[in-house]
Structure 1
Amino acid sequence: MVGAGVLGLPFALSQLGWIPGVLTIVASWLITLYSLWQMVEMHEIVPGKRFDRYSELGEHAFGPNLGYWIVMPQQMLVQVASDIVYMVTGGKSLQKVFELMDPVVFEGTRLTYFILIFLALHLVLSQCPNFNSLKGVSLFAAVMSATYSTVALVASIIKGMEHRPPRHGVRSHTEVGQFFDALNGLGTIAFAFAGHSVVLEIQATIPSTPEKPSKKPMWLGVLVAYAIVAWCYVSVAIAGYWAFGEYVEDDVLISLRKPAWLIALSNFMVFIHVVGSYQVFAMPVFDLIESYLVKHLHCTPGLTLRIIARSTYVVFTAIVGICLPFFGGLLGFFGGLVFSSTSYFLPCIMWLVIMKPKRWSFHWIASWISIIVGVSIAILAPVGGMRQIILSSKSYKMFS
């Protein structure tokens, strides 16, 4: 749950300001926790049947054809967008590690080279057959995410205490700039809540019986995860913005430089974390690609198909990441475009359709609030993200 998006939250606060930024994070935490509870509950809503894919639940809610095409494209966009951002994050973090360890040799080294290293690693890891085979990688990545979030928190506090407090206004000094920055900030925060797109696939790996349904251990896991999310997201966002003000980088660890060994270590933790996260988000995409090739193009399932199909996808995400390595803009654009749907309002719509709560009941009101907030983010945030990408691209040389 604690993804690389946490590193962009101080940047989001610098675009939204103190009060709107913190309130947006807290509101997003509450809304997405509620929508995640809905998905866990609906996993076995039909007795004797489990909806092991997001698209399967969509088919149950909206019909076999319409449901599939409503959910599947959005879910796949979340997976692909996450992997593109993780390509950029992995490359940037590894670049920062080498620059801090030996600035004379590695200062100015192209980011492209480090993304290619990340690519080479995933060409190997992508051959893991399924989710269960990622248990070790996922656990190690989870420990890394909690640790580097703590490092970002502590280092930001130390940085803030050592220097005169920076200006804590918003980044832009024009009304137009502030408006579009605020939209990008909304998308950046939405990107941080991305677990919904794989929650049913993860719950499908948990044994379930009528006496011990999978929703009980799954919901316990969600509560633990969201407790850690609350601590990491709010503390890192506040500490990073407090330490650097409106000048914080779109990745707060890039803003931090001292002590060099600790910041290098935390960036390496980010690198390790996104290695595991990339595979978790890529696995449903691999499943979709291979199923299509076997069922529709009549390819022979096996190792050869897996190597070709998965390697092609990994290379694709690397190429996009190399061409558009703008962490802040990508978070805002993708966070609004697809993450707001799968995490904020699509589960609530399915809940209204399947469960049919009474009008003006708690679940009816909560679902509609989540839908209105999520749709608003989906409409507005991509505009701010695209503007951020355009501004960043003006000073960027391709493949540098």
Structure 2
Amino acid sequence: MDTEAAMEASAKMEADEKSLNDWLPVTSSRDAKWWYSAFHNVTAMVGAGILGLPYAMSELGWGVGVTLMVLSWVVTLYTLWQMVEMHECVPGKRFDRYHELGQAAFGPKLGLWIIVPLQLIVEVGCCIVYMITGGKSIQKAVDTLSPNGTGPPIRLTYYIMMFASVQFLLSHLPNFNSITGISLLAAIMSVCYSTMTWAACLHKGVQPNVDYTNKASTTVGHTFGFLTGLGDVAFAFAGHNVVLEIQATIPSTPEVPSKKPMWKGVVFAYIVVALCFFPVAWCGYWAFGNTVEDNILMSLQRPPILVALANIFVLVHVIGSYQVFAMPVFDMIEYYLVINLKFKPSKSLRFVARTIFVAFTLFIGMTFPFFGGVLGFLGGIAFAPTSYYLPCVIWLILKKPKKFGLDWWINWACILFGVSLTLLSPIGSMRNIILKAKDYEFYS
């Protein structure tokens, strides 16, 4: 009888878990194609961070800047491959969420404490930055198209609220696959505004008296600026935080495991990333040198139509990017409310939870719109661990490569590189935030 009761209890738990997964936004739909992976990853990767890359180059200089960007592209492609491979590294089990993979490596409790805070910092941080970027893009487009180059006297706060109003509506789409169309449009827009940005820089040409030396006049300023540049680059390569959740939407069979279509989409996405990141960073720095703004579009003033159009493309893109990064957060919130607080899965629960989240990101975005500083700070604290070296640590634990073999050395090299970014980049970014906060008026 005890055995039968245990079996019944186990069957009920499995049924309840399946029912919950069928409702949660990450796992409720598993019919995605490989190209879904491609444009979800493009949307996640080619985000607001790309606009700060020319500024990062101005802090790092040509040699270090080019080397760091190429190295970051290679390292993060490798760690992304690791995550795709580990999605089903345990037979009969899919790690549909980053923290589930962390739990497999570090244990049920420690895995949660290591992964979830970092993942939330990245995803919530991205949503906040996209709030700010969306508002600034609307403001820049309006100003550029205005007769005198200055739009109506509307505070940035209100432009951010305009962007948020769209997110209040879109946040109620049920799952990852339901935002496919938005993500595809966002991916197209990212390619368009990236191309327009570097093309506009080429058209503008090298500015008079351009200077490629560091703009800081002191050794302290030079050092802190260099560290900020490290964080800006780390922020740009942030797609790892949603890769397992994207792969969870792809069907998997023994004959065709999900890693095959997923990797196909990732390779396509990373080619697009290279074609977007490198020209924008290098052409922007080439044209403006150390006078480039922390958002390259702010440096481009002519031709007005092109600049306004690029900002509109950025706006459409960050609308989609916000949703791609918000969906895993919605998944975590809804799981917590149902499992820990014993709420019943319902549309009303989902409506309230998601509305509160969007309102929270709106409030933080309006209160602290320090674009450049926020990018670098978040890049060092959380983006570097989740994208550069945590996949390597998990790989060493789960795959157990031969000690001192090639695989072992490559992983440890990536870990040392990523840890260096984590330790160094937040220092300069924190100073940048403090300097900007001195003269900032709230909700101005």
What is the TM-score of this pair, normalised by structure 2?
0.88
AA matched with 1:196? H
Quick one: structure 1 residues 376 and 173, their matched pair in 2 at CA, closer, same or farther if it must change by over 3 Å? same
1:191 is aligned to 2:230: no
Q: Tell me if the contact between 1:167 and 1:246 (Cα under 8 Å) persists in the aligned partners.
A: yes
Partner residue in 2 for 1:210: 254
1:106 is paired with a residue whose SS is coil
Runs of 4+ in 1 over 2 A off after TM superposition: 298-301
AA matched with 1:187? G
Structure 1: gaps (5+ residues) = none
Listed one character per residue, the Cα deviations across residues 367-398 of structure 1 (whole Å, up to 9, x for unaligned) are 11111111111111111111111111222211
Within 5 Å, give how 1:91-110 maps onto structure 2.
91-102=135-146, 104=148, 106=151, 108-110=153-155
Within 5 Å, give how 1:1-400 maps onto structure 2.
1-102=45-146, 104=148, 106=151, 108-161=153-206, 163-164=207-208, 166-400=210-444
Matches of 1:64 and 1:103 in 2, distance apart? 60
Matches of 1:366 and 1:173 in 2, distance apart? 38
Matches of 2:280 and 2:441 in 1, distance apart? 31
AA matched with 1:164? P
Q: Tell me if the contact between 1:165 and 1:243 (Cα under 8 Å) persists in the aligned partners.
A: no
2:91 is paired with a residue whose SS is coil
Q: Please state how far the C-alpha of 1:337 moved relative to its aligned partner.
A: 0.6
Matches of 1:171 and 1:284 in 2, distance apart? 39
Quick one: structure 1 residues 300 and 47, their matched pair in 2 at CA, closer, same or farther if it must change by over 3 Å? closer
Listed one character per residue, the Cα deviations across residues 200-222 of structure 1 (whole Å, up to 9, x for unaligned) are 00001111111111111111111
- The count of aligned residue pairs is 399
Matches of 1:196 and 1:255 in 2, distance apart? 30
Quick one: structure 1 residues 266 and 51, their matched pair in 2 at CA, closer, same or farther if it must change by over 3 Å? same
1:189 is paired with a residue whose SS is helix
Q: Please state how far the C-alpha of 1:293 moved relative to its aligned partner.
A: 1.4
AA matched with 2:182? V
Quick one: structure 1 residues 108 and 159, their matched pair in 2 at CA, closer, same or farther if it must change by over 3 Å? farther
Matches of 1:179 and 1:103 in 2, distance apart? 41
Q: Please state how far the C-alpha of 1:171 moved relative to its aligned partner.
A: 2.3
Q: Please state how far the C-alpha of 1:360 moved relative to its aligned partner.
A: 2.1
Listed one character per residue, the Cα deviations across residues 45-70 of structure 1 (whole Å, up to 9, x for unaligned) are 01121111101111111111111221
Listed one character per residue, the Cα deviations across residues 126-176 of structure 1 (whole Å, up to 9, x for unaligned) are 001110001000000000001100001000011125x43511111212110
Structure 2: gaps (5+ residues) = 1-44
Matches of 1:219 and 1:99 in 2, distance apart? 42
Q: Tell me if the contact between 1:38 and 1:348 (Cα under 8 Å) persists in the aligned partners.
A: yes
1:330 is paired with a residue whose SS is helix
Bigger mean CA deviation after superposition, 106-115 or 189-198: 106-115
AA matched with 1:153? W
Bigger mean CA deviation after superposition, 348-357 or 224-233: 224-233
Bigger mean CA deviation after superposition, 313-322 or 131-140: 313-322
AA matched with 1:94? I
